Structure 1
Amino acid sequence: MTDSPASPAPLADPHLVYDPLAADGPKDVVILGSTGSIGTQAIDLVLRNPDRFRVTALSAHGSRTALLAEQAHRLRVRTVAVAREDAVPALREALAERYGAGEPLPEILAGPDAATQVASSDCHTVLNGITGSIGLAPTLAALEAGRTLALANKESLIVGGPLVKALAKPGQIIPVDSEHAALFQALAAGTRADVRKLVVTASGGPFRGRTKAELANVTVEDALAHPTWAMGPVITINSATLVNKGLEVIEAHLLYDIPFDRIEVVVHPQSYVHSMVEFTDGSTIAQATPPDMRGPIAVGLGWPERVPDAAPAFDWSKASTWEFFPLDNEAFPSVNLARHVGRLAGTAPAVFNAANEECVEAFRTGALPFNGIMDTVTRVVEEHGTPVTGTSLTVSDVLEAETWARARARELTDRTATAEARA
């Protein structure tokens, strides 16, 4: 993307193709988080396109060994990695049930560093579909090994932004979030100097239109009833609080090097338009598809080529209505808080993310009311004080900040639960 020499290059740029391992035939792909939502949909895409992609390794948490073994067998991978070492016996048994006599079983790696090991293994592209900040180490490993990184793990960029930026080569990261894949594609319509604003769309979650007072007594079941997307519980609750949108604002700033005051959030209940780019001539380019993550995954794995029939297209012969509303920042303060920690940078986003993860869990177990999630996260961020920033930031700094934030959030949620019990 054309720009002045003084400006830093964005992490994600549709005009640049990072392809040091270009080869004839299918791309070798490693899938991290293979038994999760992103991983299973990526495998569906791979199996439908064997001429384009070949999976060499899988990693997963280890709680769904039967599914992991089935994936390994169907894809004929070389290596399977699990974070839980105690899952290895069940995984070996599941693999043995699927492989025939004499068929070599894949290599098994186990432990907290297993995903990081396969992220740096021989391949063309690493798809990081892990949920949570534990995806940071594999992200850094893939970048350091020179792999193209299809990034669905937004938390690794949020908590380790400066570390990621220090390692990534121009064009090495392809975003897989639906919003950032949309921005990535829309940005191809002009030069970087032409961009006036990024517009990130939000479905509004299950509580769109409610006031802060009306959110005081919503239940976990209410929060998990997302009107558009089928996602895991943590991501779904983040969508209900709009924390996910706050994280995406930080991510957009880091990926595209656009200032926070030029990144806007707009509520779009239908989730057809996944994000937009407004250019200086007044034009707005929107990327739209029916809600389906296989489209963004196909962009991440296939770019700069399109994967035919990766996801459903619109039927333009049928009438439809698309709506857009301004964001209610009073009812959903998470986006403005995310802008604040994004501007602070350094360890501040890691504190925000870690405290939120703890508060979401406290809400799920009944220890915290819905509005208490952001109230508590805000307090943890305020107590964190001045974050570690600049080139001095290390992985240890990030982990230490996360550990403190989790512990402090647990203290505060325990106090809230005790106070409510006494009341």
Structure 2
Amino acid sequence: MQNATADFRKVAVLGATGSIGTSALDVVARHPDRMRASVLGAGRDVDGLVALCAAHRPDHAVIADPALHDALAQGLRDARLATTPHAGMAAFDALASDADACDTVVAAIVGAAGLDSTLAALRAGKRVLLANKESLVLAGGLMMQAAREAGAVIVPIDSEHNAIHQCLPPGGDCGGVSRIILTASGGPFRGRSRESLADVTPAQAIAHPKWSMGPKISVDSATLMNKGLELIEAHHLFDMPADRLDVLVHPQSLVHSFVEFVDGSTLAQLGLPDMRTALAVGLGHPHRIASGVPGLDLLRHGQLDFEAPDHDAFPCLGLARAALVAGGTAPAVLNAANEIAVSAFLQGQLRFLAIPALVEHVLAALPAAPAATLDVLRDADARARAAATQALETGVIH
């Protein structure tokens, strides 16, 4: 059933073959009378993208690597699909901003690579379901300004920020908020001492106890950098200063965040650890729609536990908070250095405990500077990547 109502949505899923992208498509497919996937984008997985196109019949498919355009086109022809093939990051930007191609964008490209297409969607006034935390960390101030100027709607898809979004009054008024508390599962190494983490392997680090995520995000969860990046995100999304943002470890991952108000009330959003809930909130906003996730049976799950994060074993959280306080280019430097560090760890080139060491080294080498333009932030990102790579190549950090 096609455009049956004026509210029918054409959804672009950028990062469609990843865990968030496939979850988004699962929700979209449950509501054929309200929405359809009109654009699907992926990095290099041509076969996966073609398979999704066969299932969802989008108007457009885009692959990030230009060298794979012909393979994508051939795959679509072989599947007898009318979907138009595109390739290159510029195609992501063009489709994200095209009024005919989509009105809603699921921004799920991992890493800083997702920044341009997200900005393009915001500048075009789209509804953006923001699942790419690195772009907000890198250029949060500019992104929020772009959204305000174009009248774009941002619905965060991180479970924690989505929980805060749900707990705030309509319109996101934070005037009565005294504190925001993000919850963290603690990752696969919760409760372990710093010394016991010396020989952690990539396979152990990506084995998250609660969430099914990609390798980079899973490693960030294991180091608690993920939660540090989320602090920076929360600062931008909800205009909240660092001293009113806190983190609590909650191993059950059922309470996704708290909002504390000036009158002493605290609201929490609870639910099973399944990204489809947050995606349904974004896709249906301001209405509630079915996500495929069952309700929460607290009697079956039993008690809820909370504890303070261990900053000694997981120093990335403190590094992220320091970058937030420093402001300017510091969050961009933090994010870039972390991406290089995590990549090196996953390739067996860096020890787990050296991830925060490399990030700290790069932050010290590149002190925070004012960041009024995207060019300044891109330059800081590039210099941080170069500094991190040099530290690895020279053995300063190993």
TM-score (norm 2): 0.93
Query: Which runs of 5 or more residues in structure 2 are unaligned?
Result: none
8 Å CA contact 2:159–2:278 kept in 1: the answer is: yes
User: What per-residue deviation string (whole Å, max 9, x for no partner) do you get for residues 118-159 of structure 1?
Assistant: 110122211101110111111110011111111111111110
User: What per-residue deviation string (whole Å, max 9, x for no partner) do you get for residues 337-363 of structure 1?
Assistant: 111111222221111001001011111
Q: Distance in 1 between matches of 2:291 and 2:139?
A: 34
Query: Using CA pairs below 8 Å that are at least 6 residues apart, which structure has the higher relative contact order?
Result: 1
User: What per-residue deviation string (whole Å, max 9, x for no partner) do you get for residues 94-115 of structure 1?
Assistant: 212222xxx6x22222112121
Q: Which residue of 1 aligns with 2:48?
A: 67
1:199 to 162, 181, 185: 181
Q: Which residue of 2 aligns with 1:9?
A: none
Identity of aligned residues (%): 44
Q: Which residue of 2 aligns with 1:43?
A: 25
Q: Which residue of 2 aligns with 1:402?
A: 381
8 Å CA contact 1:298–1:310 kept in 2: the answer is: no
Structure 1 SS opposite 2:305: coil
What letter corresponds to residue 132 of structure 1 in structure 2? G
Summarize the alignment of residues 16-27 of structure 1 with structure 2, pairs less than 5 Å apart.
Answer: 24-27=6-9
Deviation, 1:251, is 0.2
Summarize the alignment of residues 243-282 of structure 1 with structure 2, pairs less than 5 Å apart.
Answer: 243-282=225-264
1:211 to 168, 193, 198: 193
Q: Distance in 2 between matches of 1:106 and 1:212?
A: 51
Q: Which residue of 2 aligns with 1:176?
A: 157
Structure 2 SS opposite 1:205: coil
Summarize the alignment of residues 335-346 of structure 1 with structure 2, pairs less than 5 Å apart.
Answer: 335-346=317-328
Q: Which residue of 2 aligns with 1:18?
A: none
Summarize the alignment of residues 153-168 of structure 1 with structure 2, pairs less than 5 Å apart.
Answer: 153-168=132-147
Between 211-220 and 33-42, the greater mean CA deviation after superposition: 211-220
User: What per-residue deviation string (whole Å, max 9, x for no partner) do you get for residues 10-39 of structure 1?
Assistant: xxxxxxxxxxxxx61521111111111111
1:290 aligns with 2:269: no
Q: Distance in 1 between matches of 2:13 and 2:173?
A: 32
Q: Distance in 2 between matches of 1:138 and 1:167?
A: 13
Q: Distance in 2 between matches of 1:241 and 1:168?
A: 31
1:82 to 59, 63, 68: 63
Query: Which runs of 5 or more residues in structure 1 are unaligned?
Result: 1-22
What letter corresponds to residue 43 of structure 1 in structure 2? L
Q: Per the alignment, do residues 25 and 73 of structure 1 end up closer, same or farther by CA in structure 2, a change over 3 Å counting?
A: farther
Q: Which residue of 2 aligns with 1:108?
A: 85
Q: Which residue of 2 aligns with 1:185?
A: 166
1:149 aligns with 2:132: no
User: What per-residue deviation string (whole Å, max 9, x for no partner) do you get for residues 166-218 of structure 1?
Assistant: 21126611111111000100113895222111010000001111122222222
User: What per-residue deviation string (whole Å, max 9, x for no partner) do you get for residues 308-340 of structure 1?
Assistant: 244221134525121111111111111221111
Q: Which residue of 2 aligns with 1:17?
A: none
Q: Distance in 2 between matches of 1:198 and 1:60?
A: 34
Q: Distance in 2 between matches of 1:66 and 1:260?
A: 43
8 Å CA contact 2:276–2:291 kept in 1: the answer is: no
Report how many residues are paired: 389
Q: Distance in 1 between matches of 2:327 and 2:95?
A: 29
User: What per-residue deviation string (whole Å, max 9, x for no partner) do you get for residues 69-93 of structure 1?
Assistant: 1222332221111111121222122
Deviation, 1:380, is 0.2
TM-score (norm 1): 0.88
Q: Distance in 1 between matches of 2:349 and 2:12?
A: 38
8 Å CA contact 2:253–2:272 kept in 1: the answer is: yes
Q: CA RMSD in A?
A: 1.8
1:387 to 362, 366, 369: 369
Q: Distance in 2 between matches of 1:411 and 1:397?
A: 21
8 Å CA contact 2:136–2:143 kept in 1: the answer is: yes
Q: Distance in 2 between matches of 1:145 and 1:220?
A: 39
1:224 aligns with 2:201: no
8 Å CA contact 1:27–1:125 kept in 2: the answer is: yes
User: What per-residue deviation string (whole Å, max 9, x for no partner) do you get for residues 247-290 of structure 1?
Assistant: 00000010001111111100001111111111122221111111
Deviation, 1:367, is 2.0
What letter corresponds to residue 350 of structure 2 in structure 1? L
8 Å CA contact 1:82–1:111 kept in 2: the answer is: yes
Between 107-116 and 263-272, the greater mean CA deviation after superposition: 107-116
8 Å CA contact 1:78–1:106 kept in 2: the answer is: yes
2:39 to 39, 53, 57: 57
Between 329-338 and 202-211, the greater mean CA deviation after superposition: 329-338
1:242 aligns with 2:219: no
Q: Which residue of 1 aligns with 2:96?
A: 119
Structure 1 SS opposite 2:11: strand
Structure 1 SS opposite 2:258: strand
Q: Distance in 2 between matches of 1:363 and 1:309?
A: 35
Q: Which residue of 2 aligns with 1:321?
A: 303
Q: Distance in 2 between matches of 1:25 and 1:260?
A: 38
Q: Which residue of 2 aligns with 1:13?
A: none
User: What per-residue deviation string (whole Å, max 9, x for no partner) do you get for residues 57-77 of structure 1?
Assistant: 11111x221221122233222
